[in-house]
Structure 1
Amino acid sequence: MQKRIIIFSFLILAVSSSFAEKVNSVVPANLKGVGYPAHTELTWENHAGFTYEIYRSADGNSNFSKIAETNKDSYLDFFGKPLQKEATFIYRILPKGLSMDSKQVTKFEIRVQIPTSSDEALLDMTQRYATRYFYDFADPETGLARERSNDVNGNIVTTGGTGFGIMALIAGAERNYFSRNDAYQKINKIVGFLEKAERFHGAWAHWYNANNGKVFSFSQFDDGGDLVETAFLTEGLLTAREYFRNGNENEKTLVSRITKLWETIEWNWYTQGQNALYWHWSKNYGWKMNHRITGFDETLITYVLAAASPTFPIERSVYEKCYTNSNYYLNGKKYYGIKLDLGMEYGGPLFFTHYSFLGLNPNGLSDKYTNYFERNRSHALIHLAYATENPKKHVGYGANCWGFTSSDDPIVGYSSHQPGTNDENGTISPTAAISSIVYTPDASLNALRHFYFDRGKQLFGKCGFYDAFNPGMVEGQQVVQSYLAIDEGPIAVMIENYRSGLLWKLFMSNPEIHTGLQKLGFKIH
């Protein structure tokens, strides 16, 4: 009997020893935790896909509570309202089945400092996360921004969104999210792809397949040059040219390569010899789409760059007889007592005030039609007033939940949301209000606080705020958990312009831009 007890005890010790070894083998590698105003980001390596249980203590080493279970390699722990004072949270990332009473638990423990909240910290966090889309999620081979995070077409990269991303990367380097050389390496890779990519009289296509480098059709007849996306891309390239202009030898070489790309875009060829710019041209279908670029909308930068080109410029008549000569250029009406000089009813989607003005500084920019900062500010204020009045009685609208633009939509897929239309179906796009911060800082910050502190657990992910949500839908279907390059870029860039004006300063330092603006009749005060 005694012999059996000894053998049984030995087996228990052996099993315990074996289990301890297994515990040691699944301690999360590179476990990290970073505290933000109302959440902690926990990351670790989990190549084997183990299941972990996450526990948190907010009062030292006691009172741990289980907050999640996951087989992924990260977790965002939202704890609600901002803390009144700085605190330390303790987390334990335990393999499923390991008891909290085990002596092993401290091996799975990490302490995280949670800062007190401030507007600056909130803005920096939002910019930092949005910039990840262009640094962490960029295509590794080409460096270009992926069109979207939920793309059903494959590994598709976008030129216009890449232009926005280049600016975000520059700001990220200045904010020490990564090094200047890291930003250079990314942008150098992008330029290398653009030099080899098929072009159409100097213009790039809207989309390319990153796996083979070939054009990927945006639509049936849109398989060639896209002049507007080329303009957005060039906006970013010229910003990078100024950022690296006085850098080291590698950076100066990159500057020369960007200049060559810029000077080989045949802007005037896209007029078809008329007083108009045309959006698309295809080797296969020619001018079949026949889409004139008219305003007022997001395409203003296309005319500014076309007029600024030192090699293939357009004349002022092209601008005046096409862009400013449309049914929705002049407005002059008041909406909620706010006068709107240019644009369609209610101003249209808010990306009209973002895309061209990521680099083009609206402050002090005017012409015979309007002051552009005031025009854009009015546009954003009209959106705010519309959401506050909420004429269709949509759930959630208000002074802290506003902003309509083109984005994903939980009801109809991708759609251009704008007040006063059927497309305005209760969907809010966080990029709309956040990217308007340069025009409406108080209202944009109110919206940002609401999106993060009140709805962050649903709206916030690895690259920041998801693309859109509709509070009127059932809880599991409210949020489209996707990211789009053209929505992430304006968030990062406009927050930086609000904080420092950096991207405006760089883009406007290009001497050709002033030439183009003057040619078109703009004044810079």
Structure 2
Amino acid sequence: MRRLFPLLALLAVAACAPSAPVATPPGPSASSVEAAPLAYELSPEEEAFLDTLQHRTFRWFWETTPENGLVHDRYPSRDFSSVAAIGFGLPAYGIGAERGYVTRAEAAERTLTTLRTLYEAPQGPEQVGTAGHRGYFYHFLEYDDATRFRNVELSTIDTALLMGGVLFSREYFDGDTEAERAIRAYSDSLYQRVEWPWVRNEGATVLSMGWHPESEYIPAEWKGYNEGMILYLLGLGSPTHPLDPDTWTAWTDTYEWEEFYGYEHVNFTPLFGHQYSHLFVDFRSIQDQWMRDKSAELGEPYDYFENSRRGTLSQRAYAIDNPGGWADYSAEIWGLTASDGPSDQAVEVDGETRQFHTYWARGASADHINDDGTLAPTATGGSIPFAPDITIAALMAMAERYPDLWTEDYGFRDAVNPTFVFEDVPIKRNSEVTPYGWVDHDYLGIDQGPILIMAENFRSGLVWETLKESPYLVHGLRRAGFQGGWLSGAEVEMPAPIDFPETAEASQPNEDRLLVVVLGSSTAEGTGPSHRDSTWVNRFREYLEGVDVRFDVLNLARGGYSTFHLAPAGTAAPDHIRGAPDPQRNIDAALARDPDAIVINLPSNDAASGVDTETQLANFAAMVARAEAAGVPVWITTTQPRGLDPEWIAVQEEVRDALLATYGDRAIDFWSGFADADGAQAQRWDSGDDVHYNDPAHRIFFERVRDAGVAATVLAAN
């Protein structure tokens, strides 16, 4: 892993003179689209409400964030930090300074601490112990050292949203104090070291959604209209690792223009896709070639701001129509986006079975509808500038109707579901069922941010106006072909490229490496323990490295996976088990790494998905047969106790017994001592969600894997 040069060098870079002005591209100097004024006049009641909303939401960022600046993904649940939430928190500090919630010096100190934490966190290709690679950051980070949380992906979009906040900080803190100079230096270095073109699948023009050190690039790519706009614009603006302008054309070529509830627009289902890029960029009156062509086709001006306005209005129209018959939907109660939800249970509602979800990308568009009756204040709050009259009214109506949703501490909790009034159905942790439906107790950073930032953009334009001074963003917009409006008169100086040390490449495995591959689901991935060092896999990794330095552990586990996901290619999975087999994380992927041993850990997802005993055992047998044909020994952990229906607990016990009987010394008992009298998880081992296991349980899991003879078997063969 590699750390880049320290603050003194950064400050020297910040003092360098800009290299050249960012020129306006050839073409019309003025747009045919005039900037649409945000002309809605607030009533005194609305003004007071927004004052309160912004102050409370700001306090969430200011009061709950740890001292190192790593903003929570969610709170009061505290599992990890979200880099996108950090990106939203950085403008929040500037808003707080402008509104007098904190002093400018206090905001600068918090910002500097955050940027320093991010820049000094290690980067590199290793599986564990780094915050990112090639300037990109992992989606979620550990609180204590800002390194990768579990097996999450290196996320292109979350890095871009982080960089949006970083570039706001660069322009907002333009003073001559030591702290503000350092902020600009760290901002330049964080942004310029991102190697934007690197995360691409072979032969692709558009970017991948991310990368795993275990399995390379994610097949899913940034296509279609969504929040990926900010990713491409910032990548195009880089002076060190720029994207090619053809990337933007490839992106816009995948747009889908359709009508939904009377509004023609480029569709995206959850509202956050219409909002996130707009947190940072004022798209009023500026157009790329796609929007210029669309304006000519329509015979009237059209831009991305208008597109998001129509997306917002179409969702409200959908709620008024309410084809699903969900409780409370109306002209004032509406708003679907990615958010928490009550449960993953199917429940009978008025004689009809309804499937509910916990966290889910809810939304409604011509493409598809994801709706289970859950409403999120951020859906309307993030659209305040697009339609202030209906969004502010919706927020005020929700605050009045659902008092447990609207709190004196930190504003809106994440979500409410008025249809979900069932007290006998399991619900997500940190939530409750009230007389007016299910209410979340968590606040999510990526949902708090749009409320605060877009309220401020509507009221003062602070974030928009600040980032109009960003040479990187202006350069990116112009290279994407944007013209007109405020962009025509933007005069900015492009900073000189920073000469970074060469990026560390992933080292080639030594010929004498002893590789153990772990396949599995969330337990092996690391869900449950308080820190990555407490997971059974990482304890086992440390143990093996102590036995022989040649040992290496490759963890391909992924939460939610079943035997079908790990089965050999060609295995037919039921329709409800999607993405199986997974060619990047199944037995074939493990064997492609030329391992010396494989450990498979699948606790309960098969039974939870309705897969019977015989089918599970057949899938295990197929995996073992494939490995044995390659001469690779396999160890299989048994099922683990979980609070399922009695029928499926019986299946869990049958699979446990069959694995122990079939595989003998190569079966590892993950059941004994962990079950209560009913065969469910005993409370003492619960990590807090009635499914996953805590630190003491993972220590025992590790000890049982350690004592199964994996190391001795591998060493004897080598």
Whole-angstrom CA distance in 2 between matches of 1:434 and 1:226: 25
Residue 484 of structure 1 deviates from its aligned partner by: 0.5
Question: Are the counterparts in 2 of residues 139 and 157 from structure 1 also a CA contact under 8 Å?
Answer: no
Counterpart amino acid of residue 172 in structure 1:
G
- Determine helix, strand or coil for the equivalent of 1:171: helix
**Equivalent position of 2:89 in the other structure:** 165
TM-superposition CA deviations, 1:23-59 (whole Å, max 9, x none)? xxxxxxxxxxxxxxxxxxxxxxxxxxxxxxxxxxxxx
Is the counterpart of residue 254 in structure 1 residue 183 in structure 2? yes
Residue 465 of structure 1 deviates from its aligned partner by: 0.7
Match of 1:381 among 310, 313, 318: 313
Is the counterpart of residue 469 in structure 1 residue 410 in structure 2? no
- Determine helix, strand or coil for the equivalent of 1:523: coil
Alignment of 1:272-351 (within 5 A): 274-287=204-217, 289-321=218-250, 323-326=251-254, 329-331=255-257, 333-340=258-265, 342-343=266-267, 347-351=268-272
Residue 295 of structure 1 deviates from its aligned partner by: 2.3
Whole-angstrom CA distance in 1 between matches of 2:304 and 2:469: 19
TM-superposition CA deviations, 1:339-364 (whole Å, max 9, x none)? 21x12xxx311101211111111211
Question: Are the counterparts in 2 of residues 360 and 504 from structure 1 also a CA contact under 8 Å?
Answer: yes
Residue 455 of structure 1 deviates from its aligned partner by: 2.5
Counterpart amino acid of residue 228 in structure 2:
T
Residue 155 of structure 1 deviates from its aligned partner by: 4.1
- Determine helix, strand or coil for the equivalent of 1:281: strand
Is the counterpart of residue 509 in structure 1 residue 456 in structure 2? no
Counterpart amino acid of residue 471 in structure 2:
P
Deviates more, 1:412-421 or 1:480-489: 412-421
Deviates more, 1:376-385 or 1:356-365: 356-365
- Determine helix, strand or coil for the equivalent of 1:271: coil
Match of 2:280 among 356, 359, 370: 359
Whole-angstrom CA distance in 1 between matches of 2:380 and 2:51: 16
Identity score, percent: 31
Question: Are the counterparts in 2 of residues 160 and 233 from structure 1 also a CA contact under 8 Å?
Answer: yes
Question: Are the counterparts in 1 of residues 112 and 179 from structure 2 also a CA contact under 8 Å?
Answer: no
TM-superposition CA deviations, 1:270-324 (whole Å, max 9, x none)? 235742212212333222x222211201111000000000110011112222x22
Counterpart amino acid of residue 396 in structure 1:
D
What is the number of residues matched between the two proteins?
394
Residue 519 of structure 1 deviates from its aligned partner by: 1.1
**Equivalent position of 2:391 in the other structure:** 444
Alignment of 1:86-101 (within 5 A): none
**Equivalent position of 1:415 in the other structure:** 360
Whole-angstrom CA distance in 1 between matches of 2:87 and 2:237: 18
Query: Over aligned residue pairs, what C-alpha RMSD do you find?
Result: 1.8
**Equivalent position of 1:17 in the other structure:** none
- Determine helix, strand or coil for the equivalent of 1:478: strand
Question: Are the counterparts in 2 of residues 276 and 318 from structure 1 also a CA contact under 8 Å?
Answer: yes
Whole-angstrom CA distance in 2 between matches of 1:393 and 1:457: 23
Whole-angstrom CA distance in 2 between matches of 1:452 and 1:488: 15
Counterpart amino acid of residue 500 in structure 1:
S
Counterpart amino acid of residue 190 in structure 1:
T
- Determine helix, strand or coil for the equivalent of 1:309: coil
Match of 1:203 among 110, 119, 136: 136
TM-superposition CA deviations, 1:105-135 (whole Å, max 9, x none)? xxxxxxxxxxx96211110110111112211
Structure 1, unmatched stretches of 5+, are 1-115
Question: Are the counterparts in 1 of residues 252 and 290 from structure 2 also a CA contact under 8 Å?
Answer: no
Residue 458 of structure 1 deviates from its aligned partner by: 4.4
Whole-angstrom CA distance in 2 between matches of 1:365 and 1:240: 23
**Equivalent position of 1:194 in the other structure:** 118
Question: Are the counterparts in 1 of residues 70 and 146 from structure 2 also a CA contact under 8 Å?
Answer: no
Counterpart amino acid of residue 410 in structure 1:
P
**Equivalent position of 2:50 in the other structure:** 123
**Equivalent position of 1:454 in the other structure:** 401
TM-superposition CA deviations, 1:403-426 (whole Å, max 9, x none)? 110000113210111126563111
Question: Are the counterparts in 2 of residues 245 and 251 from structure 1 also a CA contact under 8 Å?
Answer: yes
Whole-angstrom CA distance in 1 between matches of 2:209 and 2:260: 31
Residue 460 of structure 1 deviates from its aligned partner by: 2.6
Whole-angstrom CA distance in 1 between matches of 2:443 and 2:404: 16
Whole-angstrom CA distance in 2 between matches of 1:384 and 1:456: 22
With normalisation by structure 1, the TM-score equals 0.72
Residue 242 of structure 1 deviates from its aligned partner by: 0.3
Is the counterpart of residue 228 in structure 1 residue 145 in structure 2? no
TM-superposition CA deviations, 1:372-398 (whole Å, max 9, x none)? 111000000001111111122211011
Question: Are the counterparts in 1 of residues 83 and 137 from structure 2 also a CA contact under 8 Å?
Answer: yes
Is the counterpart of residue 492 in structure 1 residue 452 in structure 2? yes
Whole-angstrom CA distance in 1 between matches of 2:456 and 2:116: 26
Whole-angstrom CA distance in 1 between matches of 2:47 and 2:449: 19
Whole-angstrom CA distance in 2 between matches of 1:458 and 1:480: 7
Whole-angstrom CA distance in 1 between matches of 2:405 and 2:304: 35
Moved over 6 A (4+): none
Whole-angstrom CA distance in 1 between matches of 2:115 and 2:60: 18
Counterpart amino acid of residue 507 in structure 1:
L
**Equivalent position of 1:45 in the other structure:** none
Whole-angstrom CA distance in 2 between matches of 1:393 and 1:194: 46
User: For the structure 1 residues 317 and 125, does the alpha-carbon distance in structure 2 shift closer, same or farther, using more than 3 Å as the test?
Assistant: same
Question: Are the counterparts in 1 of residues 404 and 439 from structure 2 also a CA contact under 8 Å?
Answer: no
Counterpart amino acid of residue 193 in structure 1:
T
Match of 2:172 among 230, 237, 243: 243
Question: Are the counterparts in 2 of residues 433 and 447 from structure 1 also a CA contact under 8 Å?
Answer: yes
Question: Are the counterparts in 2 of residues 390 and 397 from structure 1 also a CA contact under 8 Å?
Answer: yes
Counterpart amino acid of residue 296 in structure 1:
Y
